[in-house]
């Protein structure tokens, strides 16, 4: 086994809906990974410890050295609803500050280090948990982002994170994914598609409806989409939107509103290029949304949790650069 593929760290990206485990090598590379549907609200028998045991045991049981591999976990596992609540670290925060906020404890299944979230204090406080690790990973993967960048993590709660000099300096939260889900499942707007089935039309028609929603959001200007959400209904009632396309249109309205509002928030300064992190299909939709507003370019970087877990562990001294002298510069 080459030094660079020596198991060195177990990283867990443990969110609300899933648990992703990574066996990381001494250069931070991923040797193996596993995905379980064991988000903190969908735990298996045995709860947190049972899930931990299942994911970690196979890797730890391999040999003498692996038995003591440190485990670092990021995400909602460290929230009030998680295994243990880890106090937030204050914004601005970099990898070092996040590492200093690690909460270590000995569970019945073994020792674990939980990564803290980040809090932005003030009259309108804001928090993130899990995204800080993605950001740290993104900066490790692309050191050029550290100087000045705008990282967008679409999802249930989208985060728009400003990075400067390697620090998270400010962020905003848009509940776009959750809004879409509750409107789809529980509102009048979701009813036609719930009844028709969202797959009753072709991909082209769905894409056109999404683009139409984006355009309506862009054109809404300072009004925003609150007075236009109902067009999801009225365009269906007038026969201009087939029932199966209504949710794509609604998604366009909501993603477009996120974009519109975020751009309005930066109106006194040019927007840096946007880097998207997260699910590929969702990032693709956001990339289209950024293009519709045509104010800055956007590209997709992809999931950076494993790199972030490595970086935090490294900054905390849980893994040592000395262990493998071939470790690459971005991790330094």
Q: Which residues bind a copy of itself (CB under 8 A)?
A: 80, 119, 121, 124-127, 157, 160, 172-176, 178-179, 182-183, 185-189, 216, 221-224, 226-231, 233-235, 237-238, 240, 257-258, 260-262, 264-265, 267
CB of 48 to a copy of itself, least distance (A): 20
Q: Are 66 and 36 in contact (CB under 8 A)?
A: no
65 or 240: whose CB is closer to a copy of itself?
A: 240
The label of the residue with tokens 């959750």 reads 178
CB of 254 to a copy of itself, least distance (A): 8
CB of 172 to a copy of itself, least distance (A): 5
113 or 157: whose CB is closer to a copy of itself?
A: 157
254 or 282: whose CB is closer to a copy of itself?
A: 254
The label of the residue with tokens 């003030």 reads 122
CB of 265 to a copy of itself, least distance (A): 5
Would you call 226 exposed, middle or buried from its count of C-beta atoms within 10 A (0-12, 13-18, 19+)? exposed
CB of 188 to a copy of itself, least distance (A): 7
**DSSP H helices in the chain:** 47-60, 95-100, 131-141, 176-186, 191-196, 203-219, 231-237, 246-265, 280-293, 305-315
28 or 82: whose CB is closer to a copy of itself?
A: 82
228 or 327: whose CB is closer to a copy of itself?
A: 228
For residues 244 and 94, give the distance between their C-alpha atoms in angstroms, rounded to a whole number: 44
For residues 163 and 67, give the distance between their C-alpha atoms in angstroms, rounded to a whole number: 37
For residues 173 and 222, give the distance between their C-alpha atoms in angstroms, rounded to a whole number: 19
Structure tokens belonging to residue 192? 């036609």
Measured between its terminal Cα atoms, the distance across the chain in Å is 24
CB of 62 to a copy of itself, least distance (A): 39
52 or 88: whose CB is closer to a copy of itself?
A: 88
């Amino acid at each position: 086994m080459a030094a660079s593929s020596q198991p060195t760290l177990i990283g867990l990206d443990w969110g609300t809906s899933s648990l992703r485990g990574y066996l990381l090598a001494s250069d931070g590379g991923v040797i193996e990974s596993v995905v379980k549907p064991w988000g903190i609200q969908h735990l298996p028998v045995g709860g947190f410890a049972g899930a931990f045991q299942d994911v970690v045991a196979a890797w730890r049981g391999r040999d003498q050295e692996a038995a003591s591999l440190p485990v670092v976990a990021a995400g909602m596992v460290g929230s009030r609803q998680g295994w243990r609540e880890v106090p937030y670290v204050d914004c601005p925060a970099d990898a070092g500050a996040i590492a200093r906020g690690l909460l270590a404890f000995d569970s019945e299944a073994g020792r674990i280090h939980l990564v803290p979230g980040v809090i932005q204090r003030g009259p309108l406080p804001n928090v993130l948990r899990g995204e800080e690790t993605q950001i740290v990973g993104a900066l490790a993967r692309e050191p050029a982002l550290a100087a000045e960048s705008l990282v967008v993590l679409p999802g249930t709660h989208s985060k728009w994170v400003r990075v400067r000099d390697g620090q998270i300096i400010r962020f905003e939260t848009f509940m776009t994914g959750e809004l879409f889900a509750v409107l789809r499942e529980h509102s009048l707007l979701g009813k036609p598609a719930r009844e028709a089935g969202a797959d009753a039309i072709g991909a082209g028609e769905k894409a056109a409806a999404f683009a139409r929603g984006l355009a309506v959001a862009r054109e809404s200007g300072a009004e925003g989409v609150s007075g236009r959400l109902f067009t999801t209904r009225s365009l269906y009632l007038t026969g201009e939107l087939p029932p199966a396309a209504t949710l794509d249109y609604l998604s366009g309205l909501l993603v477009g509103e996120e974009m519109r509002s975020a751009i309005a928030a930066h109106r006194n300064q040019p927007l840096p290029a946007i880097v998207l992190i997260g699910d590929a299909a969702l990032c693709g939709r956001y990339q289209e949304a950024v293009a519709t507003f045509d104010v800055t370019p956007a590209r997709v970087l992809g999931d950076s949790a494993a790199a972030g877990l490595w970086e935090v562990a490294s900054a905390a001294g849980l893994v040592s650069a000395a262990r493998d002298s071939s470790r690459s510069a971005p991790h330094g």
